[in-house]
């Protein structure tokens, strides 16, 4: 499959969205009055996994964007 500029922009947008929403989620988790350790562990794992996904998608998006520019 050949990535086009529109694919690259979607990947970058999803990566940015993940970072923005999970950064907000971190703030909400810190401000939470929930004292259950399992809650923090589970949600911390979700945050880390989503930041990894954002990094992977961002890298793919950036590479696809660069490739689409050099193809033009």
Residue 55 structural domain: 5-71
Total structural domains in the chain? Answer: 1
Can you say how many angstroms the Cα of residue 69 is from the centroid of all Cα atoms in its chain? 23
Predicted confidence at residue 72, as pLDDT, reads 62
The tens-digit pLDDT sequence of the chain (72 residues) is: 677 899 999 999 999 999 999 999 899 888 888 778 888 888 899 999 999 999 999 999 999 999 888 766
Q: Given this model, what pLDDT does residue 63 score? A: 93
Give pLDDT, residue 31.
Answer: 85
């Amino acid at each position: 499959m050949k990535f086009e500029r529109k694919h690259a922009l979607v990947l970058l947008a999803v990566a940015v969205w993940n970072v923005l929403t999970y950064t907000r989620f971190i703030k909400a988790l810190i401000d939470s009055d929930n004292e259950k350790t399992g809650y923090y562990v589970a949600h911390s794992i979700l945050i880390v996994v989503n930041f990894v996904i954002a990094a992977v998608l961002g890298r793919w998006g950036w590479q696809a964007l660069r490739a689409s520019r050099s193809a033009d």
